[in-house]
Amino acid sequence: MVAGWALGCLLAVASLAGAGHEIYHRQQLAKLAAQKAAQQAAVKRAAAGRVTAQPTSAQPEKKAPAATVRKIGAAQESVSSQDEDLLAAVDSDVSRQVPAAMEPLAQLMDDNGSQ
């Protein structure tokens, strides 16, 4: 009888130890994932900072040539036209009565809804 109690206690302690180890392992993985995400965010911020870096007051500002200004303006117009096209596509998709995949079935139906 004592051996049964001892084995039962051993089983309970082993189960609790296994659960504790699993929880600890998941916490360590979560910490590693958070660190990796923070590093990726820092890299993205650094890259964005390099792209949008503004001249400091110590450096004299240089005027951009007219050709460069025209190229930048054309690129901005291109981006804005792409945005408008995307918004128009989203608007047409949202305003549909039936999804595109259901259109063949909708064409089979009469206007009053009967078959």
In the chain, where the domains are located: 66-95
Q: Tell me the CA distances in angstroms from 75 to 37, 45, 64, 68, 81, one per residue in order.
A: 32, 23, 15, 11, 10
As given in the structure block, the two tokens for residue 26 are 């998941």
Mean pLDDT of the chain: 77
Between 36 and 44, the more confident residue is 36
pLDDT score at 3: 93
pLDDT exceeds 80 at position 74: no
Residue 109 in contact with residue 115, Cβ under 8 Å?
Answer: yes
Q: Tell me the CA distances in angstroms from 81 to 5, 43, 76, one per residue in order.
A: 77, 30, 9
Q: What is the pTM of this model?
A: 0.38
Taking only the tens place, the pLDDT of each residue in 91-100 is: 777 776 777 7
